[in-house]
Amino acid sequence: MTFDIKKLIKEHAGENFSLYEAHVNPRFARALRIIGFDRCYETAKGAYLWDIEGRRYLDMLSGYGAFNIGRNHPVVRKALCDFMSMDGVSLVQMEAPLLCGLLAGELKNRIGYGLDNVYFCSTGAEGNEAAIKFARCATGKSRIIYASSGFHGLTTGALALNGSQVFKEKFGELLPADKVPFGDLNALEDEISSGDIAAFFVEPIQGKGVNIPPAGYMKAAGELCHKHGVLFVVDEVQTGIGRTGKFLALHHETGAEPDMVIVSKSLSGGYVPIAAVLMKKAIYDKVYSSLDRSVVHSSTFGKSNFAMTAGLATLSVLDDENLMDHATRMGNLLGERLQTLAERYEFIGQVRWRGLMLAIEFASPRSLKLKTAWTTVNKLNEDLFCQAVTIPLLEDHAVLTQVAGNQMTTIKLIPPLCITEDDVDWFITAFDKVMQDLHRFPGPAWESLMRIARNAMPGGRSKSRAAAE
Ligand SMILES: Cc1ncc(COP(=O)(O)O)c(C=O)c1O
């Protein structure tokens, strides 16, 4: 029998959740059902998804930031098809892959900072794991410092640098690592002056919560690190590849000097897992210090030519379509229109953004009636108010969004960088209506929210939390 993927998908259309429940992760499937996110998506293009009923959705989540250039970009698809039609070679391992050298060169040119060597792997967490090992090897020290609310992946090394205790619970002892408040230079200096620290890992804008540090923080943090012999490692897994309107979010700040930069997610247009760690030559020389150690850290799929092909094509699309400038324009349009809504709606505390990485943070309203409603839902579950926004956005307006992190009253918008002014209108019209409904208390929006809370609560708050991550 010849394998036919189209036939297979057609034969099983709509069985997504029953199969996932039976064989993969029934609790996540249930959490999605509770909040009405149990849709069966079938096709995707640019900033849109279509479900099996043909309904079109606006994707403001872009696979956690993996689709900066839009889903199923034809240039990347063609590059991959061309590579396959050549019977292109990949993973010989005992070779120096051509495309790997080409992509490394492209990344070095775009990133700068005198970072000389590039290590390729497959995921953001794997990139952070490599950077942890490299930092420990290069400095001979073992402790790592990270920022509160930081997120660097969920493998055990990266998990040690996670700002949220929720992710760490029940996974045992992790690497020695300590947390400092994000954006606080005094706290950083206090911590790193102890002299036993290999590196400070930090995101230039934090993915969990979309926290933007005070201007000058990244430059000064790097200087403090260097003063104390600590490596300054910048995690651009989510903020990189044009997300904030520049290639790296760090490029918004002049004078910052990272020792390592990690990129991933959107680097391959969302087609193939990919990550890259760019490092100073002095670090490379310590890790790969002899011929014996020339493969002392590597991974089987790291240099796959499928990933390299997709990476090279993605970078070309980013330039050809001028997507970084477009992200700045669309981000400002969306952000400013949201700020106008914030003047009308008491629940909106703050809107913040850089390029197309935006946060809408909700806060306790002024009027007594709404304040009571706010306090009640937040007592039940800190994520619940956000669910009251993300659920109708999807259900009534076909807009896919996410809560910015567990136990947060913030929703995050990270759409593909190719969204149009019409898409901005689509989102603003939808969000305006959802806000209108939530500002009517008591009212139907609050009744459905309490229904969801009742469904989620008996098994514990974790169900609603799972949906938020
Ligand atoms: C800043 C940052 N670092 C690392 C990671 C982990 O990446 P992955 O999920 O590919 O392991 C993420 C994922 O969201 C991230 O946002």
- Return the domain boundaries, the chain: 9-69+323-468, 75-320
Residue 194 has what pLDDT?
A: 86
Cα separation, 398 vs 154, in Å, equals: 30
pLDDT at 458: 53
> Residue 206 C-alpha to ligand 1 middle, in angstroms?
11
Query: Per-residue pLDDT averaged across 420-435, rounded?
Result: 98
The model scores a pTM over 0.85? yes
Identify the residue whose tokens are 């009027």: 367
Tell whether ligand 1 has an atom less than 6 A from the beta carbon of residue 404: no
CATH topology of domain 75-320: Aspartate Aminotransferase; domain 2 (3.40.640)
**CB-ligand 1 contact for 273 (6 Å cutoff):** no
217-227 vs 185-192: helix axis angle to the nearest 10? Answer: 20
Confidence (pLDDT) at 457: 60
For residue 296, pLDDT beyond 90 = yes
Residues 6+ apart with CB under 8 A from 360: 338, 348, 350, 351, 389, 410, 411, 413, 431
The CB density around residue 323, as the number of other CB atoms within 10 Å, is: 23
Confidence check: pLDDT of 468 > 50: no
Is 387 touching ligand 1 by the criterion CB < 6 Å? no
Ligand 1 centroid, distance to 410 Cα (angstroms): 19
CATH of the structural domain 9-69+323-468, one choice from 3.90.1150.10, 1.10.10.60, 3.20.20.105, 3.40.190.10? 3.90.1150.10
Q: Which sign does the torsion angle of CA 61, 62, 63, 66 carry?
A: negative
pLDDT at 242 over 80: yes
* Average of per-residue pLDDT across 118-127: 98
pLDDT for res 463: 39
